[in-house]
Amino acid sequence: MRLTKLGHACVRVEHGGTTLVLDPGVFTQEDAAEGADAILITHEHPDHYDPERLRRTDAPVFTIGAVAARIREEAPDVAERVTVVQPEEAWAVGGFGVEAVGELHAVIHPDLPRFHNSGYLMTLSDGPDDSAGTTVFHPGDALTGPGVPVDVLLAPVSAPWMKISEGIDFARTIGAARNVAIHDRVYSDAGLGIADGHFGRILGAAGLDYVRLEDGADL
């Protein structure tokens, strides 16, 4: 597996000749979706969804109904490539098994409407004898776990809807051996330094690895 951070919440995951790109939004380089075999979009906020980036690929797009409605309105030329997924629905893309997890965006403020959101649990299989595979989980803008073991958590570290302590507790509850920071455009460099220190120290004490990759870096 090769996992590349492409900016903010956007990640490229490559395995077995198949490439998935998740959440190529406006904080991501313009060519983030190019070369993808499929795009997964968690929800409709522009830091996760941008129609212009979707136009730079002909890959199928898997997302929730609210995003599909936005695409039909804003990018009808992309709409024919969209598949709407439901909570707990599972499907395959190449060597990936994918499952939709959760239904609602985290609460930003009680006075604001709730948005829909789907996390995606990806299982990377090396063939029929690899029944378990490696699991990678992208929660989108929610702290809703998949309820199964996760090997790599794409962990939100800064958001208007989350305190650092909540993000750490979410990651600790998921218990992934490796935690890769995402959703990191909200804080300044100083703020991210504080977040990285807390995540690294507390998750490290639990025996869990934490890293925040620079844009374009991979592991």
Convert the pLDDT of each residue in 169-197 to its tens digit. Answer: 999 999 999 999 999 999 999 999 999 99
Secondary structure of the chain: what % helix, strand, coil (to 5)?
A: 20, 30, 50
What is the average pLDDT value for the chain, to the nearest integer?
A: 95
Enumerate residues 6+ apart whose C-beta is below 8 A from 153. 137, 139, 171, 174, 176, 178, 179, 180
**What CATH class does 2-211 carry?**
alpha beta
What is the structure's pLDDT at 128?
52
Average confidence (pLDDT) over 161-165: 97
Whole-model pTM: value is: 0.96
pLDDT confidence band for 154 (50 / 70 / 90): very high
Residue 158 region by backbone torsions, left for phi larger than 0, else alpha for psi between -120 and 50, else beta: beta
Among 84-93, 113-122, 129-138, 155-164, the range scoring the smallest mean pLDDT is 129-138
126-153: pLDDT as tens digits:
755 545 689 999 999 999 999 999 999 9
Indicate whether 207 pLDDT > 90.
Answer: yes
Query: Which residues, 6 or more positions from 106, have their beta carbon under 8 angstroms from its beta carbon?
Result: 117, 141, 142, 143, 159, 161, 162
In this structure, what DSSP letter does residue 76 have? Answer: H
What value does the mean pLDDT take over residues 22-47?
96
Instruction: Give me 163's structure tokens.
Output: 């305190």
Given a cut of 70, whether residue 107 has pLDDT beyond it is yes
The arithmetic mean of pLDDT across residues 81-96, rounded, is 96
Mean pLDDT of 96-103: 97
What was the pLDDT predicted at 70?
A: 97
The residues that bridge with 90 in the sheet, in sequence order, are: 99
- The H-or-E segment that residue 65 falls in is helix 65-74
Query: pLDDT tier at 104 (50, 70, 90 boundaries)?
Result: very high
- Say yes or no to pLDDT of 125 above 90: no
- Amino acid 150: pLDDT: 98
Is the confidence at residue 163, as pLDDT, over 80?
A: yes
Query: Which SS3 state, helix, strand or coil, does residue 74 take?
Result: helix
